[in-house]
A = this chain, B = another copy of it.
C-alpha cells in the first residue's frame, strides 16, 4: 500500500485506528474455549466487528509463536482472512525483528514473500544492514523503533551524546539515509506525550505507529495534538482495550463498540487537517 492510499483510507473511514491482534489463548471468551482453532475464530469475529472503524490490523507475532506451529497456522489464516475480505486494511507484522543482512533477508522473506503483510516493525540496534533487506519490497514498509511506550525506553533510547542528541533522534536521522517516508514509519509510544514535538522536528512527514493508548495509559488527544501532520501521519494502535473489552459471548459487539468510540474521537481530530485544506 502506498502512503497516499493509506491516507485516502484514513479520510474515507475517518479513522487512523490500528487494532492490535495480541490474541492470547488464555484470555479468550469462555464461549470459544476448547473449540478448534479458537484463536482464529476469535480473530475472525474481532476483525469482522471492527473493520469498519479501523484502517489497520497489527498481529503481534509473539502471541502466535507462543503456540508453536499451530499458532503459526492461526496467524497465516488470520492474515489471509484480512487480505481476502478487507483488502483496504494495512496489515502490520509486529515482530521487532532485526539481524545481520543475510538473516534480516530471511525475516523479510517470511513477512513479505511467504506472508503478505504491508509492514513490519524492526529494531534499530544493529544498524543499516539489519534494516535494509526489509526495504527491498515495493510498497512495503519498515516501521522502525524510535521511542517506545514502555518504562524500559528510558534505559537507552534517551542516551545523549556530547551535543545533546539522543539515541532515538539519531535513529530518526540516520535511518532517513536508508529510505524515504514512502517506505519507512517509526514507532513512537503514546505514553511519551509531548515528546511528539521533538519527533516531528526530525520526522515531520513520516507516518508514526503509536502504541500505548488505552491499556498502557497514553492519551489519544495528546497524540493527535502533538503528532498529527498534514497527511494525518499517525496510526494509533489499541489492542487490549478493544479485543478484550468483554469476555462474554458478546465480545465482538463490545470490541466494535470500543473501536467505534475511538474512531469517533479520531474523526474529530481529523477535522483539524481537513478544515485546513
Q: A72-B72, A100-B149, A107-B62 are in contact. Are A156 and B174 (CB under 8 A)?
A: yes
Nearest chain B residue, comparing its CB with the CB of A187: B126
- State the copy count for this chain: 2
Quick one: which of A195-236 are within 8 Å of B by CB?
211, 216
Whether the Cβ atoms of A157 and B125 lie closer than 8 Å is yes
- Chain B residue contacts of A159, Cβ below 8 A: 159, 161, 167, 170
A6-39 to B contact mask, C-beta < 8 Å, 1/0: 0000000000000000101000000000000000
Does A148 lie within 8 Å of B126, measured CB to CB? yes
* Size of interface on A: residues with Cβ below 8 Å to B: 60
- State whether B62 touches A69 (Cβ < 8 A): no
* Nearest CB of chain B from residue A83's CB, rounded to whole Å: 15
- In the assembled complex, the Cα of A261 lies from the Cα of B156 at a distance in Å of 40
On A, residues with C-beta under 8 Å from B are 22, 24, 60, 62-63, 65-69, 72-73, 76, 94, 96-104, 106-107, 109-110, 113-115, 123-131, 145, 148-157, 159-162, 167, 170-171, 174, 211, 216
